[in-house]
A and B are shown apart, each in its own frame.
Chain A
Amino acid sequence: DAGVTQSPTHLIKTRGQQVTLRCSPKSGHDTVSWYQQALGQGPQFIFQYYEEEERQRGNFPDRFSGHQFPNYSSELNVNALLLGDSALYLCASSLVDSYGYTFGSGTRLTVV
């Protein structure tokens, strides 16, 4: 049973560029949440998608946007990258309105 799959695992971008991260949820899950984890910190909630709609959003600027596809996979887009966007981006999937989140291994984004 495949867990949560994220791609790419690592990438390096230049300040001002745009980036797209991808997530395939665990089989049977229909909800995807994205978290940002800075070095030495706990994950911070960015937003959650269900039925292709943004359902809940954390305290992140509009430069962060997302999308969910009919197959429940999701993308996280970040525009106008800042050095402070360097972090591990985690995707977590779950079944709607359930407590069981499964996290992927994350995408390590470095902005130079």
Chain B
Amino acid sequence: GENVEQHPSTLSVQEGDSAVIKCTYSDSASNYFPWYKQELGKGPQLIIDIRSNVGEKKDQRIAVTLNKTAKHFSLHITETQPEDSAVYFCAASLNQAGTALIFGKGTTLSVSS
């Protein structure tokens, strides 16, 4: 079955710096790759997603890139702010909408001011 690996497990940056989180997946049939932000005591919140027919997607300070050949995808956060501090999860889903999401183990991002 699908396996998603996420690195790093922890990431500390200064306010205004960029942060990059990387994930690899094992099943070439996966075609949907969302990123979730989870704050303490809350459920995961979708921040951006990408499908396999797209190589890059941006939404203000957040961008995701996908390399299908290498089976890896990355989250890029620019101009980080203290409120970006949270746990970030990548996930992958097989080639049919509505199928289960397979999550990475998460990255704890700390942004210090």
Are the C-beta atoms of B104 and A98 separated by less than 8 Å? no
Chain B interface mostly helix, strand, loop or mixed? strand
Are the C-beta atoms of A42 and B97 separated by less than 8 Å? no
Q: Which residue of B lies closest to A106 (CB)?
A: B43
**Interface-facing stretch out of A12-20, A63-71, A78-86, A89-97:** A89-97
Q: Which residues of the other chain, A, contact B106 by a CB distance below 8 angstroms?
A: 40-42
Give the A-B pair count, Cβ closer than 8 A.
Answer: 61
Of B32, B45, B99, the residue contacting A103 (CB under 8 A) is B45
Asked if B25 CB lies within 8 Å of chain A CBs, one says no
What are 17 contact pairs spanning A and B, CB under 8 A? Answer: A4-B43, A33-B100, A41-B105, A41-B106, A45-B100, A45-B101, A45-B102, A50-B98, A56-B99, A90-B44, A97-B97, A99-B93, A101-B34, A101-B46, A101-B101, A103-B43, A105-B41
Chain B residues in contact with chain A, CB under 8 A? 4, 6, 32, 34, 36, 41-46, 49, 51, 89, 91, 93, 96-106
